[in-house]
Amino acid sequence: MTERHGRRILASVATALVLVTLLSLSSSAWATPAQTQLGQKSIPPVKTASKALVNAGDELVFRITFTAGPGTWHSVVVTDDIDPHLRIDWVTTTQGTGSWAGQLVTVDVGNVTAGTTVTIRIHCTVLDTVYEVAEIYNCALVEVEDPGLNYRTCAEIDIGREFIPELPSLLLLGSGLAGCAGYAGLRWRSRRG
């Protein structure tokens, strides 16, 4: 009787596995992008910087990325007022056109269909005047006319400082190195002869 009972359990488990497989094949997980376009979720804009710590002369790239959804975003415009301690070298975008006047970058993205990801890159060079500030806090504004959305996204960059040790530290370091060199010389001479 236990062998019969075991076969029934095995048959039930096999049937359940077949049903689960059939149900998963008919689910929306296998739908094409055209079938799920209206169900796409938007990913809010995120602004990042290629470096968290910069010095004068460094290259810095700001990246602004977003995904439209659940429907099409119409008349999308991205503006970014770049810090005056940075020189804008060029702007690239995966959709639309980008330009700048002074320190204001404007990207006219246009209409973005649901599920489409747009990436904007602003390439800059850090100027010598950067040491006047402790950090750069820079924000971009993404405006969507329809459905009437406004997003603000920011990136923060710390400014590196060149370290110049004080005179007493240099003297201690120098005497320590000189002492080590003298000791090494004495050991070398004692082994040699």
Of 8, 33, 32, 29, whose CA–CA distance to 20 is shortest?
Answer: 29
The range of the structural domain enclosing residue 44 comes to: 39-159
Each residue's pLDDT tens digit, 153-165: 999 999 886 555 5
193 within some domain: no
Question: How deeply is 125 buried, as exposed, middle or buried, from its count of CB atoms within 10 A (0-12, 13-18, 19+)?
Answer: middle
182 within some domain: no
Each residue's pLDDT tens digit, 32-66: 444 334 446 788 999 999 999 999 999 999 999 99
Kindly give the confidence (pLDDT) of every residue in the chain, 193 residues in length, as a single tens digit, with 9 standing for 90 and above. Answer: 566 655 666 556 556 555 555 555 554 444 444 433 444 678 899 999 999 999 999 999 999 999 998 899 999 999 999 999 999 999 999 999 999 999 999 999 999 999 999 999 999 999 998 888 889 999 999 999 988 889 999 999 998 865 555 656 655 666 666 666 666 676 667 666 5
69 within some domain: yes
181 within some domain: no
26 within some domain: no
Prediction pTM value? 0.65
128 within some domain: yes
73 within some domain: yes
48 within some domain: yes
What is the domain count for the chain?
Answer: 1
Which CATH number does the domain housing residue 128 bear? 2.60.40.740
- Sheet strand arrangement including 43-49: 43-49, 59-67, 117-126, 86-93
- Which positions ≥6 away from 134 have C-beta within 8 Å? 158, 159
